[in-house]
Structure 1
Amino acid sequence: MFRLGPLLLFVGWIMLSAVNVGLAIAVSFSGIL
């Protein structure tokens, strides 16, 4: 049976990375504006 643990961990890490990138872009845009 396929284990969901590593998959959920991987998806969670990707979501956190996307949030961090979004925050960095927002901060850079607010800094420019």
Structure 2
Amino acid sequence: MFHPGPLSVFVGWIMLSAVSVGLAIAVSFSGIF
């Protein structure tokens, strides 16, 4: 059974968090302007 390393899991979590934050910022800016 293949198990990804802690580093790849951490990087993937960072990427997902960055995407979520980016979408939230884009939505708030769209609501302001």
Query: Shorter-chain-normalised TM-score: which range?
Result: 0.7 to 0.9
Compute the TM-score of the two structures, normalised by the length of structure 2: 0.83
Q: TM-score, normalised by structure 1?
A: 0.83
User: Higher helix fraction: Structure 1 or Structure 2?
Assistant: 1
Structure 2 spans left out of the alignment, 5+ residues: none
Give the 4+ runs in structure 1 shifted more than 6 A. Answer: none
Work out the CA distance in 2 between the residues paired with 1:11 and 1:27: 24
What is the percent sequence identity of the aligned residues? 83
Q: How many residues align?
A: 30
Please, which runs of 5 or more residues in structure 1 have no aligned partner?
none
